[in-house]
Amino acid sequence: MSHEAVLHGDAHGHDDHGHHEHHDTFLTKYVFSQDHKMIAKQFLITGMVWAVLGGLMSVLFRLQLGYPDSTFPFLEDLLGKWAKGGRITPEAYYALVTTHGTVLVFFVLTAGLSGTFANFLIPLQIGARDMASPFMNMLSYWFFFAASIVMLSSMFVETGPFSGGWVAYPPLSALGDASPGSKTGMDLWLISMSLFVVSSLLGGLNYIATILNMRTKGMSMTRLPLTIWALFFTAVLGVLSFPVLLSGFILLIFDRNFGTSFYLSDIFVNGVGALPNEGGSAILYQHLFWFLGHPEVYIILLPALGMVSEIISINSRKPIFGYMAMVGSLFAIAILAFLVWAHHMFVTGLNPFLGSVFVLLTLLIAVPSVIKVFNWLTTLWKGNIRFTPAMLFAIGFVSLFISGGLTGIWLGNSALDIHLHDTYFVVAHFHIVMGVASMFGMYAGIYHWFPKMYGKQLNNTLGYIHFWVTIAGAYMIFWPMHYEGLAGMPRRYYDFSIWESFKQFGELNKFISLVSMIVFMVQLSFLFNFFYSIFKGRKLIDPNPWKSNTLEWTAPIHPGHGNWVGEIPEVHRWAYDYGKDGVDFIPQTTPVGADESQH
């Protein structure tokens, strides 16, 4: 306790002077803010809005999958011609599936996750007053905002939003005559995504520059908290892979609007006739897309890996086990992320030798992943575990990461993938390991850093209910889907009733839909907890509520723009001195004592 007292006495005293925003207007403080903390909150809340919309979409299409023969009059009130007679049309179903995927992958789990925590934590945890370029940072959010508006508006065009799947494979995505969703809706989708790429590049460059150049005195790279390492690799992945996606999109825009044939060849569309395009390759797009698409999976996952490492260590009151191995495995995952993209393309007629290389590299990813899992387990081992809501979600993350990671071994092995590709097995796999797991990482982060963001506390009881219902529900939704996949049941089907091979799961689909609705509603209770606590939550009294070592907790409870009053604290040790020499925790700012043991 003595450490804490020494450290925070100062922060308490100056709490009221911590605000430097007297000359800020409402517009510069809350809207066009250049303060990384405000930008983080903007990303978070925009991400939450998208998460609710995206989640609602999944509930709507689960309604169709679970109750294909029923009609729901309220759907017609809600969706109009897209649910004539109270049943979602195939057009609407595919639009919902596509938008759900796009929004959750990019707007929620990329912008909402990286955007929030990279912005919030990087300056606070490395000891910087703000990002390297606060202005670029602000632009990053507003490009995201613009992307959001364009995506939202695509849902209101006459021909409907894009409906060809979030991967947007041409020729389907290139030909308005092949699918009404590929008309104006697709143009807007491409504009929105291009704006999004710009946003993510502006953000990513900033994160990298800040981490490399603006660490406080004593904060060497090997003293960085694992969150920062994870966010660093995430930013590098984004900066190197998003431009490739953008190039792929630009070629697609050309094919759609200017008569080029990058992706088009030998096409005859019913009702239109033969198209003039010859010599293009539809597979080329898939290479360009997955060159981002696979790193994107890790862009989503890495921040969660970092935050979970941090939260598990803090709440086990033990140092993270194998810090260097944790950094090394993040690095290995980041490198391998660029070398495995074609495992999404095993059934495209890929050269078999090339395929074999991708099998080998894909399964290699299991090695750093196993290292991470065992390091977390060893961190828990003989710890003194406090189940804060953040810790619960971190443990849930590990469980989901194991479950979803293991099925990756099935799908990464091409000979098995030929059987399981594009079935519900894949749906189960990526939802568990990338979707729900990263969402858990994000929840863990929100519960953990909420007191730092708003100076208030979230309600714990609601947090516990939120966690237990969500993890049980997530497994009940996605575990049985493995069996559907093992029956060969294809994903992206509007209705299975005409299929002799797949119609045996009617009851199960009903069950899954029901659980997904309950889980969705529990997420709403989290939202209530979040917004209620911002205004009415109990005030934070202890500036370091989790007894954590990292720098953000040395800042005042309500840090102003600039984060610290007076000098930026100096760092003397790594972030994980928990339980060292019998001392519960030793903040990074505490100088190394003469009689302290080496580790």
Partner 1 sequence: MTMFLTIAVVVLIFVVIFQIAKVSEYVSVLKGEEVSRKQSNKINGFLMAAFLVLGLVGVWYCNNLLFDKTLLAHDSASVEGARVDSMLWVTLAISGIAFIGTQALLFIFAYKYQEDANRKVVFFAHSTKLELIWTIIPAITLTILVVIGLRNWFLFTGEPPKNAMVVEVTGKQFGWIYRYPGKDGSFGKKYYKNIDNASNSLGLIWDDELAHDDIVMEQTVYLIKGKPVKLILGSRDVIHDVGLSHFRLKMDAVPGIPTTMWFTPKYTTKEMKEMTGNPNFVYEISCDQLCGNGHYSMKGIIEVIDQEEFDAVMAKQKPYYYTAFPEKDPSAAADTTVTAAVIKKIN
By the rule CB under 8 A, 378 interacts with partner 1 = yes
Stretch that binds partner 1, among 25-33, 149-157, 295-303, 414-422 (CB under 8 A): 414-422
Q: How many residues does the chain have?
A: 599
**Shortest Cβ distance from residue 98 to partner 1 (Å)?**
9
Tokens of 521: 């509603």
Q: Which of 253, 472, 514, 540 binds partner 1 (CB under 8 A)?
A: 472
Which residues have CB under 8 Å from 487's CB, separation 6+? 501, 502, 504, 505
Phi and psi torsions of 274, nearest 5°: -75, 135
Q: Which of 56, 335, 339, 465 binds partner 1 (CB under 8 A)?
A: 465
Stretch that binds partner 1, among 36-44, 45-53, 336-344, 501-509 (CB under 8 A): 501-509
Q: Which of 133, 247, 260, 413 binds partner 1 (CB under 8 A)?
A: 413
x/- map, 78-97, partner 1, by CB under 8 A:
------------xx--x---
By the 10 Å C-beta count (0-12 exposed, 13-18 middle, 19+ buried), 1 is classed as: exposed
Tokens of 503: 């119609």
Query: Which amino acid is it at 349?
Result: G
By the rule CB under 8 A, 493 interacts with partner 1 = yes
Q: Which of 392, 432, 477, 515 binds partner 1 (CB under 8 A)?
A: 392
Interatomic CA distance for residues 452 and 470, integer angstroms = 25
CA distances from 456 to 118, 152, 406, 488, 546 (A): 21, 32, 39, 49, 13
Interatomic CA distance for residues 464 and 470, integer angstroms = 10
Site for partner 1, residues 146 to 205, rule: CB under 8 A: 163-165, 169-172, 175, 178-181
**Shortest Cβ distance from residue 408 to partner 1 (Å)?**
9
Q: Which of 118, 128, 188, 398 binds partner 1 (CB under 8 A)?
A: 398
Nearer to partner 1 by Cβ, of 128 and 174: the residue is: 174
CA distances from 235 to 191, 205, 207, 241, 276 (A): 22, 7, 7, 10, 41
Q: Which of 117, 290, 450, 578 binds partner 1 (CB under 8 A)?
A: 578
Q: Which of 419, 456, 558, 572 binds partner 1 (CB under 8 A)?
A: 419
Q: Which of 421, 429, 452, 561 binds partner 1 (CB under 8 A)?
A: 421
CA distances from 84 to 19, 88, 156, 373, 421 (A): 55, 7, 16, 49, 33
Site for partner 1, residues 290 to 319, rule: CB under 8 A: 316-319
Site for partner 1, residues 230 to 269, rule: CB under 8 A: 264-269
By the rule CB under 8 A, 456 interacts with partner 1 = no
Q: Which of 281, 331, 534, 570 binds partner 1 (CB under 8 A)?
A: 281
8 Å CB contact between 401 and 366: no
**Shortest Cβ distance from residue 499 to partner 1 (Å)?**
6
8 Å CB contact between 333 and 298: yes
Interatomic CA distance for residues 231 and 163, integer angstroms = 32
Nearer to partner 1 by Cβ, of 43 and 576: the residue is: 576
**Shortest Cβ distance from residue 349 to partner 1 (Å)?**
3
**Shortest Cβ distance from residue 204 to partner 1 (Å)?**
30
Tokens of 506: 């009617």
Count CB-CB contacts under 10 A for residue 268: 8
Query: Which amino acid is it at 239?
Result: V
8 Å CB contact between 169 and 196: no
x/- map, 535-564, partner 1, by CB under 8 A:
---x--------------------------
**Shortest Cβ distance from residue 2 to partner 1 (Å)?**
19
8 Å CB contact between 170 and 264: yes
Stretch that binds partner 1, among 239-247, 298-306, 333-341, 487-495 (CB under 8 A): 487-495
